[in-house]
Structure 1
Amino acid sequence: MAHYRASESKREHFRRYLEKSGVLDAITSALVALYEETDKPNNALDFIKLHLGAAGPEPADTEALRMELDDLQQKFNLLMEENKELRNKLMQCETPPEDEAAE
């Protein structure tokens, strides 16, 4: 019987934890939204994930972001290369030639 009480105490502690952290409200809100949906979705779990914000970006969005990342990475590489060339030119302009320094 003592084991049963300890188990109930753990459950109650966990329930209070979920309540304090807002998890119960978020899940309740998602379930209510699903209940109130007139056209029930084919996949209730995906609906709940989307409502909770855990679904992540759509595949089309992901592909667009990947393409943008590739484009920006190429631009970054070009700018870094240009920066290096300009620094080298600047160093050449700032450093006096050795022939003039010897005179």
Structure 2
Amino acid sequence: MAHYRAPDPKREQFRRYLEKAGVVDSLTSVLVALYEHQDKPNNALEFVKQHLGAAGLTTEDPEALQQEVIDLRQRCAHLTEENQDLKTRLQRYEPVPEDGATAE
């Protein structure tokens, strides 16, 4: 005899969350690609990681990304400063009208 179990509301909510986030579609497409792959890889988990884009992440990657963030923030600050300087210099030659309208 088969017993029918009512779906668990928490489980259903989690399933909908995964579907909405695209996780189910991504996993399905990777698993289909693995299934259709002629020469099955020795390490199926590595195949899944590569196709999901998680392969190659090492402990050095976060450090490199942190350094890139620092560099970009410094560059942004420098460009903001330069932009403000250029605006100030431009106002000497083209003052803004008092009513806030821009001259065209």
TM-score scaled to structure 1, two decimals? 0.49
More helix by share: 1
| Larger Rg over CA atoms | 1
TM-score scaled to structure 2, two decimals? 0.48
